[in-house]
Structure 1
Amino acid sequence: MIKRLPIIPTILVAACVAVMIALGIWQMGRAEEKAALIAQYSQVDGLEAIDWPIVPDADNPPLYRASAFDCLEVTDWRQTSGRSGDDAPGLVHVATCRLDDAGKTAQFVAGWSKAPLTPDWVGGKVSGIIAPDGGAIIRLVTAKGVGGLSDVAAPSPEDLPNNHLAYAVQWFLFAAIATIIYLLAVRGRIRRRLR
């Protein structure tokens, strides 16, 4: 039967299945890493507040630590979907704050509202919890809404997604499906040749 296997398709399928299995194993490792990271971030509750990192380390941001800074001026507002302090859906309002005369800025979640609006807040001293930010690495999330905004949901390490195990299962299923399809195709080819 081995002699009847098509060489090039067999090599291609074997290589693809090996890559899919390797990706599944890699995702399992990533799931363990993410679980350890979430556990690490969960232990920062109650630690002393830290100075606002002007240039955050992208590889090791100080997430979920208490911090504060002086927002000298709001240079921009943006809105994104989010939840209020009592878990209602709506919009969170993120201010870009100027921190100094050299042009350094920071992102600050100023509060929540049900509808789009421009908050009545131009800056000041702010404090809160450091949370992830897709563009600026980190942002400060206030405990109390400012400028007429309501409170936002407090950031939590439990909000970090850890879906790597699901991705691992998908890669293993893709490998199994590719193997089954290949074996069925080869079986059909061998049967046709034996006729």
Structure 2
Amino acid sequence: MRRSIIPPLIFGIVGTAILLGLGFWQLGRLEWKETMLAEIQAGIDAEPQPLPAEADPSMKYMPVLIRGETTGEEILVLSGTKERGGGYNVISGFVTDDGRRILVDRGFVDQDQRHDPRPPAALTIRGNLHWPQEKGSATPEPDLAAGIWFARDVPAMAEMLDTEPLLVVAAAAEGDVQGVQPIPISIDGVPNSHLSYAVQWFLFAATCAGMTAWFIWRISRRTY
């Protein structure tokens, strides 16, 4: 073996091994993420419980059952669905049977229903506690004149509707739903790109191995 091929050979073997290791690490992360998502979905679909007296973000996705009446006050958050296109999520003030004032994301209405009257209505709602993280540095401030918000900001919405900073996202509702379509919480939007990352690392490893083989072949064919 020519000494001149030893450095590129070592470099290629080490580089390929590192890239393969990163690919297998991403496969491990994929398995972990899939397990975590399955646990979250199982929690979302669990038997609903009464609304806890003290709730905090550690209870995110907790299934609950509430009964009471909407206040007739609401916030419309710009939204959309694949089936119905653009529209709004209706966030209503809600007074439970035991007198607590909370927020309820009742679901979706399309553009034509934006101005429909939605007076106080008695509802029984099965849903999940949620603390969405939708407001970023680029998110516009609510257009209060038009009554349109661009993200579900629980503390700000609670202040606007004079409720606890507590949001229940409806999965199903019984009573006068007033044309609002519940949109249950889902893990569909949770990113899980570990498989594509693993494929990329394996492709890099194959490229590294191929380039190393080609480089060594070129060296071996040199004539002096």
Q: TM-score band (shorter)?
A: 0.5 to 0.7
Closer, same or farther: CA 91–19 of 1 in aligned 2, 3 Å: farther
How much has 1:151 moved relative to structure 2?
0.4
1:166 is aligned, of 196, 209, 216, to 196
Answer yes or no: is the 8 Å Cα contact 1:82–1:92 preserved in 2: no
What corresponds to 1:7 in structure 2? 7
- Relative distance call for 1:10 and 1:153 in structure 2 (3 A) is same
Q: Does the aligned pair in 2 maintain the 1:27–1:167 contact within 8 Å?
A: yes
Please identify, of 13-22 and 29-38, the stretch whose mean Cα deviation from structure 2 is larger: 13-22
Alignment of 1:111-150 (within 5 A): 111-115=107-111, 117=114, 127-130=125-128, 133-135=132-134, 140-142=168-170, 143-144=172-173, 150=180
In structure 1, runs of 5+ residues without a counterpart are 100-105
TM normalised by structure 1 equals 0.60
- 1:111-132: CA deviation from partner (whole Å, max 9, x where unpaired): 2233384786699988442357
Aligned length: 182
User: How far 1:56 moved relative to its partner?
Assistant: 0.6
Q: Does the aligned pair in 1 maintain the 2:108–2:181 contact within 8 Å?
A: yes
> Structure 2: where are the runs of 5+ without partners?
96-101, 135-152, 155-165
Which residue pairs with 1:103 in the alignment?
A: none
Q: Cα distance 1:54–1:162, how it changes in 2: closer, same or farther (>3 A)? A: same
* Residue 206 (structure 2) aligned to one of 176, 187, 195: 176
Identity of aligned residues (%): 19
Residue in structure 2 matched with residue 153 of structure 1 by the alignment:
183
Change in 2 beyond 3 A, CA 1:24/1:144? same
Aligned to 2:56: 55
DSSP-derived class of the 1:111 partner: strand
Cα offset, 1:176, TM superposition: 1.2
